[in-house]
Amino acid sequence: MPPKPGKSKIPKPHPIGLPPREACKRIAGESMKAIEIGSYAPGKSELNASTKRFDLKSNVEQLQRSTLYYDPESELISWSTSPSTLKSSSDSMPTKIWATEQSSLDTARELVQKFGTEPDSQSAGGVNAATGGQGTTRAHAIGVLNFASARNPGGGFLNGARTQEESIARSSTLYQSLTCPVGRQFYTYHHEITAGKNDGFYSHAMIYSPSVRVFRTDAGDWIEPYEIDILTSPAVNAGVVWQKRQKALKEGKDAISESAMESKIRAVMKERMARLLYLFEIQGVQNIVLGSFGTGAFRNSVDMVVDLWAELLIGEEARFGKSFERVVFGVLGNETYLKFADKFGTEAA
């Protein structure tokens, strides 16, 4: 049964392990100030082995030059007819997939430490000339899905909001990518299509931000930097979808059945999730961090999201079954985490 406006039993997203809202607002302001200055020194602590000063200015400049926007009619539409080159190899191994009960940033940092590369503090923003100016090679890059607001860059992080996107935005240089001229196209488009008629489905438009520099933890601790590729995409806002349907029924207008609406939400979500996996694939990223996409404030079914990821990633017929080396689901909230763990396991490779 879909959630009904005003009667939903779906809990509001809980900012597990995060500071209070006012503290998050302060942290965001501090981070933006450090980016404005162009560098920071995390200070020696349990999380930092040195007191070096790390560059942000060069990273932001390179990041803004490298930011990519994919509109809804981009090449990503061909995901189902563009088979992975890895899948054609008889000896290619299936993707290693597991779930972990931690945030996207904690999950990404762990992957960087195990399988990726960290930027050189002595270089200009960690730029590596051998990889065309990126801070990490594509083979070692860690890709992270940003569960995005379709209309506001970084969501409400400047005001202390505490969902997944806000945590990433106040801890990294992501906001500078989302608000550069290329990134702004995503928000301009969504403002245009939702002006006065937001149906909650948004679009398949996406932003790709390579080598975003992360320099704080979710809790706001300053750390030595690491770099990740971030893919920004909005899930379907199922809460809005059902509210619109309920309103139409109350006004005596025609509305599709509940089962038809559930099928439509599922179809749109599958298409969007497939496209974002395809984008990671064509970018050559081999290790990615996903999660419970759109199941918090947007009120999508956790079971549906788990099943869709599984359809796309697991089994001989899965389009992306051999596209990546590792896929890790960073999930907060024990009840949600257990559903992912039950489907994908918990043993790290």
pLDDT, tens digit (0-9, with 9 covering 90-100), for 9-44: 333 444 556 788 899 999 999 999 999 999 999 876
Inform me whether the pLDDT recorded for 245 exceeds 60. yes
For residue 230, count CB atoms less than 10 angstroms from its CB and return exposed for 0-12, middle for 13-18, buried for 19 or more: buried
Q: Say which DSSP state 55 is in.
A: E
Range of weakest confidence among 89-103, 169-183, 334-348: 89-103
Q: How far apart are CA 238 and CA 303, in angstroms?
A: 14
Percent of the chain with pLDDT over 90: 69
Q: How far apart are CA 298 and CA 302, in angstroms?
A: 11
User: Cβ distance 92 to 321 under 8 Å?
Assistant: no
Inform me whether the pLDDT recorded for 7 exceeds 60. no
User: Can you tell me the mean pLDDT for 209-227?
Assistant: 95
Q: How far apart are CA 100 and CA 93, in angstroms?
A: 22
| Full 3-state SS string of 81-140 | HCCCCHHHCCCCCCCEEEEECCCHHHHHHHHHHHHCCCCCCCCCCCCCHHHCCCCCCHHH
Phi, psi angles (nearest 5°) of residue 109 = -65, -40
Inform me whether the pLDDT recorded for 166 exceeds 60. yes
Q: What's the pLDDT score for residue 43? A: 78
Question: Which amino acid is it at 4?
Answer: K
Range of weakest confidence among 114-123, 166-175, 294-303: 114-123
Q: What's the pLDDT score for residue 5? A: 39
- 21-344 falls under which CATH superfamily? Leucine Aminopeptidase, subunit E, domain 1 (3.40.220.10)
Q: What's the pLDDT score for residue 140? A: 84
User: Can you tell me the mean pLDDT for 311-325?
Assistant: 94
User: Can you tell me the mean pLDDT for 294-300?
Assistant: 92
pLDDT digits (tens, 9 = 90+) for 91-131: 567 789 999 999 999 999 999 999 876 554 433 333 332 23
The mean of the pLDDT values for the chain is 86
Q: What's the pLDDT score for residue 158? A: 87
- Provide the token pair at 342: 């039950």
Q: What's the pLDDT score for residue 91? A: 56
Inform me whether the pLDDT recorded for 87 exceeds 90. no
User: Cβ distance 217 to 223 under 8 Å?
Assistant: yes
Q: What's the pLDDT score for residue 326? A: 96
Q: Where are the domains of the chain?
A: 21-344
- Strands (E) in the chain, as ranges, are 39-40, 54-55, 68-70, 96-100, 142-147, 206-216, 222-233, 287-290, 326-330
Angle at 200 between CA 194 and CA 203, to 5 degrees: 70
Inform me whether the pLDDT recorded for 8 exceeds 60. no
**Cα–Cα separations (whole angstroms), residue 3 to 105, 161, 243, 261:** 30, 24, 9, 12
| Segment (H or E) for 310 | helix 302-313
| 0.85 surpassed by pTM | yes
Q: What's the pLDDT score for residue 130? A: 29
Q: What's the pLDDT score for residue 46? A: 67
Question: Which amino acid is it at 291?
Answer: G
Q: What's the pLDDT score for residue 16? A: 59
User: Can you tell me the mean pLDDT for 164-189?
Assistant: 97
Q: Please report which confidence band the pLDDT of residue 75 belongs to, taking 50, 70 and 90 as the band edges.
A: very high
User: Can you tell me the mean pLDDT for 66-76?
Assistant: 98
Inform me whether the pLDDT recorded for 49 exceeds 80. no
**Which contacts (CB < 8 Å, 24+ apart) does range 80-86 have?**
80/274, 80/319, 82/278, 83/319, 84/281, 84/319, 84/320, 84/322, 84/323, 86/322, 86/323
- Which residue matches tokens 């960290």? 118
Question: Which amino acid is it at 114?
Answer: K
pLDDT digits (tens, 9 = 90+) for 260-276: 999 999 999 999 999 99
